[in-house]
Amino acid sequence: MLTSLKRILVGRPLNTAEQEHQRIPKVIALAVFSSDAISSTAYATEEILFVTAVATASSLQVGLDRLIPIAAAVAVLLFIVVTSYRRTIFAYPNGGGSYVVSRENLGKYPSLVAGASILVDYILTVAVSISAGVAAIISIPAFRGIEDHRVGLALALIGLITLANLRGVKESGTIFAFPTYLYIVTISSLVLYGLARSFFGNVTPVPFDAEKFEGAREAGGALGLFLLLKGFSSGAVALTGIEAIADGVPAFRKPSSRNASTTLMWMAVILGSLFFGIAVLAHRLHPFPSHEETVLSQLGRTVFGEGPVYLVLQFATAAILVLAANTAYADFPRLSSIIARDGFLPRQFGNRGDRLVFSNGIVFLAVAAGLLIVAFGGITTALIPLYAVGVFTSFTLSQLGMVRYQQREKKPGWRVGAAVSGVGAAVTFFVLIVVAATKFTSGAWVPLVVVPSIIALFTVIRRHYQRVATALAVTPEEVRREPVNHTVIVLVGRVHKGVLTALEYAKSMRPNHLAAVFVAADDEEREAILGQWEAFKIDVPLEIVSSPYRELVGPLEAYLDDLDERWKNDTVTVVVPEFVVDRWYANLLHNQSALAVKLALLDRPATVVTSVPYQLKGSVAHSNGSG
């Protein structure tokens, strides 16, 4: 039943040979890998206003006056970072982004910082995108009554997008392409139509509502350098998701590097145009920051009215904000698999599931993002300060790594490339310092604590794998080992068909020493088993272990210690007869002693535990011995 349900939800398993056919074209790749970056246009302007128009010493108008300069500065930063990442795509076509670039050029610990930072960023991407999508939904007048259920709605959306991604990158990309392009068309229409109406004077600015405004409600004021930098750092969240294409190059159709580079440039053009256009439109129409209605919703109502076009805008915004999480779902599992192959994450993250996706990474991402949604109540603004630190840390390390790469490889045009990457590293490092300083008390301190903790976890995992590898390493001398005494004991209770099957299996192993062992709690049990042994004329020697305290495991372990004293250099195989009932709930009627024995002897050196199952099906029993 569970298998059938899995097939319905996830789909049929894909053969490994089909992996090449799961690569995606540029049209779908833009939706898969760019939805995070493009979706930030829905809330980046609002985040700037939450800083520049809400400060006690400022006002809404002062904050609006700073929108265009801040947007221009973010656009310049976008150009620098994208130019650098285009070179990364061609230099490292197998993906991995800042982690691989840092590993190959800067060393172990810078790569771990980059890896930890971007993994945290992807988790926050899901949390921020989903919470922003929910905010867009509850901004629609008809849905404002569900505001108190924003956390539950966010968790349900995470569940849906997780399920879609478990079906595979190609399938999820096809599903999510339409909402992404619908958003691009709708927002482009809002900007172009809104600016046209604004400049021709036939649109009224957003009416100010002092009750909904989150700011200081003053008529004037000024913005200091600190608040300007803080506003810039809030707007810089528009750059989140740029790394995704460099991480996911192997998912593109061949030639993958060229297709990824083209997609990156289209993403940059769309992102830069929409972000700057919304900032100009907001400067003209005077929306205000509010937790009840988003800035984009205010602009949409003002430009389109509350008719069908406005509803399409809101649903398209909600859809791309939710689907922006798909960027993280596409890249987090892929990056975690690379880190796992290097031994810094559990190896399970490197396993592909039925649909050729890294299922364990997808599920882990969903759980981590869900916990963040619950912890922060699904409020986007509360999550944003945590968001940008990891992004700009990885940007900085990636571009520093590209400087080293181009200096080492010295390919044509390397000096220009190194200069661009160097400028990018300096600028993004400056932004990182600004974000950390201006938003430290708002939550930016969290990544500064979490990232080192993750690096420590990476190190612990790596040391574990190194210890295991050292313990399992074989020398030539160990290959030619002296003969081993093989002792087999069959743990028996009363004599039944399962016990007889286990005894026959034990004989087939042709051990040096063979015995059946019965743990007796009293003389009555001792006499009963001896009587059965004699009555059935069983030709395997029977040894009885006394257990006055009615224990099973302790006396058995003492008996095994005695065997080790009798025969040196021995391996003991404990054969456990185990009958298998035909209904799962029937297990509740049995004491599961076989499981207790297996768990107890798991850590015992030179000891093998073998179960010999005997299947019971209705009134007919079928035996099947296996080890």
> CB-based contacts of 209: which residues, under 8 Å, 6+ apart?
288, 290
pLDDT at residue 118, as a whole number: 86
Phi and psi at residue 241, in whole multiples of 5°?
A: 100, -10
Q: Is there a contact between 560 and 572 (Cβ–Cβ < 8 Å)?
A: yes
pLDDT at residue 519, as a whole number: 92
pLDDT band for position 541 (cuts 50, 70, 90): very high
What's the chain's length in residues?
Answer: 627
Q: What percent of the chain has pLDDT over 90?
A: 24
**pLDDT at 577 exceeding the cut of 50:** yes
Q: Mean of the pLDDT values across residues 562-588?
A: 78
**Which amino acid does the sequence have at 290?**
S
Nearest to 94 by CA among 286, 246, 262, 311: 246
pLDDT at residue 455, as a whole number: 93
pLDDT at residue 397, as a whole number: 92
Between 354 and 150, name the one with better pLDDT: 150
- Classify 351 in phi/psi space as left (phi over 0), alpha (psi -120 to 50) or beta: beta
pLDDT at residue 17, as a whole number: 61
Instruction: Tell me the CB-side half-sphere exposure of residue 608, using CA atoms within 13 A.
Output: 15
Between 247 and 478, name the one with better pLDDT: 247
Out of 341-345, 380-384, 542-546, least confident range: 380-384
151-155, 497-501, 502-506, range with greatest mean pLDDT = 502-506
**Which amino acid does the sequence have at 398?**
S
pLDDT at residue 173, as a whole number: 67
Q: Mean of the pLDDT values across residues 156-167?
A: 86
Structure confidence by residue, pLDDT tens digits, 34-52: 888 888 888 778 778 777 7
Q: Is there a contact between 546 and 520 (Cβ–Cβ < 8 Å)?
A: yes
Q: Mean of the pLDDT values across residues 283-301?
A: 83
Nearest to 33 by CA among 170, 182, 188: 170
3-state secondary structure string, 7-74? Answer: HHHHCCCCCHHHHHHHCECHHHHHHHHHHHHHHHHHCHHHHHHHHHCCCCCCCHHHHHHCHHHHHHHH
Out of 9-13, 300-304, 451-455, least confident range: 9-13
> CB-based contacts of 426: which residues, under 8 Å, 6+ apart?
none
pLDDT band for position 621 (cuts 50, 70, 90): very low
pLDDT at residue 219, as a whole number: 40
Q: Coil, strand or helix: which one is 217?
A: coil
Q: Could you tell me the domains of the chain?
A: 24-465 (1.20.1740.10), 484-623 (3.40.50.620)
Local structure of residue 376 (DSSP, 8 states): T
Measure the CA–CA gap between 462 and 206, rounded to whole angstroms: 56
Task: Give the count of beta carbons closer than 10 Å to the beta carbon of residue 38.
Answer: 24
pLDDT at residue 624, as a whole number: 42
pTM reported for the whole predicted model: 0.73
> Dihedral of CA 371/375/381/387: which sign?
negative
Q: Is there a contact between 288 and 213 (Cβ–Cβ < 8 Å)?
A: yes
Q: Per the structure block, which two tokens stand in for 163?
A: 């399920």
Nearest to 31 by CA among 126, 155, 169, 209: 169
Measure the CA–CA gap between 81 and 76, rounded to whole angstroms: 9
The helices-and-strands tally (H runs, E runs) of the chain is: 24, 6
